[in-house]
Amino acid sequence: MSVKAKSRIPLILGTYLMIIPFVASGDDPVPALPRVGARNVEGPTFGGKQLWTDELIFHDWRIQRHVWTGHHRLLDNRDFRRAWGSFEHCREQLDAFKRELAMPPMRGKVVVALHGLLRSRQSMQGICDHFREHGDYAIVNFSYASTRKELDQHAQSFARVMENIGPEVTEINFVAHSLGNLVIRHYLGDQTNPDEGKLPDPRIKRIVMLAPPNNGAEFARKFADNKIFQTIWGKTGLELANEWDSLEKHLAVPACEFAIIAGGKGESSGSNPLLTGDDDFVVSVEETRLPGARDFAMLPVLHSSIMDDSNVRECAMRFFGHGYLVAADKRQPILRAPANGQPRE
């Protein structure tokens, strides 16, 4: 193979990683459904994972908003459409189903999961199942049309989901992949204004960040002028590439305990020769780091599958339960800037 051909491998693989999730997602057409009594005609959906964003989640039921038309749909725990129209109508129908099916409220400890760019909640289902089965957590698996809106709009939809987590829930933890971490940080920034007495939900306890682009994304910047990148990664991808300086101002450093798990080889160079330093093929290890983290770990995993790694899942479980990823005496905090000459966590 020639040197020129070899130099194209990262570009080809990067394009492949960008395209596959998008093609597989399928976009949902918007058929006109007749009303039948108090409810719409029920039926299966056609996917549309890059056109629908959750705005209320109750167990595995969800009310979603279409990013183009603004109308809503109610999906049950099998992704079967149960109602269609306004948010209020879908909410009424959900309340009716709660009564008919005697569905209990969500209560106790909850893990809220957020997927990354170009992905859907299915990509986080495995790690959610792990928390449900081994940690006795209720699950809120948030799905959003990551390529169709800007980050602030994803954060606004996420805020509506958070507002509808019932009062019976006593503890909320977050686990997020890649871009999902920036949605959380934007949400926390939007919810924080000490001068107005505005603070995030006090039930938020801990956050596990999986491969977060906490310092922007060199990978996105390198492809910012590429038409394929612009089409597939959409508005949010371009924000990461060209608008990071203005975007970062809206991203809070979590006040609660948070940990970071990065993917890397443990060497001076990583899997992608286009990136500086060690990396998980998409995000460099240095790009994941955020001062204030209570713990940090690097594992030999790739960006697209980090949430599926058994060690990653166990580390996340330990952090939610105990505040460390591996062990209390092996924590690797990332210190904040020195205060009065003394660095602090």
In the predicted model, what is the mean pLDDT of the chain?
86
Cα distance between residue 219 and residue 205, in whole Å: 32
Looking up tokens 């920036």, which residue turns up? 182
Specify whether domain 3-30+107-344 bears CATH 3.30.70.20. no
Q: Is the pLDDT of residue 324 over 70?
A: yes
**What tens digit of pLDDT does each residue of 165-211 get?**
999 999 999 999 999 999 999 999 999 998 888 999 999 999 999 99
Task: For residue 33, give every residue at least 6 positions away whose Cβ sits within 8 Å of its Cβ, in sequence order, or none.
Answer: 40, 41, 84
Residue 326: name the closest of 300, 295, 303, 282 by CA: 295
Which two structure tokens, joined as six digits, stand for 166? 């019932």
pLDDT at 85: 96
Question: How far does the chain reach from its first CA to its final CA, in angstroms?
Answer: 49
How does residue 27 score in pLDDT terms, banded at 50, 70 and 90? very low
- Indicate the domain borders of the chain: 3-30+107-344, 41-104
Percent of the chain scored above 90 by pLDDT?
70
Cα distance between residue 270 and residue 229, in whole Å: 22
**What tens digit of pLDDT does each residue of 263-290 get?**
999 999 999 999 999 999 999 999 999 9
How does residue 302 score in pLDDT terms, banded at 50, 70 and 90? very high
Q: Is the pLDDT of residue 5 over 70?
A: no
Chain-centroid distance, C-alpha 90: 24
How does residue 46 score in pLDDT terms, banded at 50, 70 and 90? low
CA-to-CA separations, 307 to 67, 124, 255, in angstroms, rounded = 27, 7, 24
Cα distance between residue 159 and residue 127, in whole Å: 22
pLDDT at 47: 54
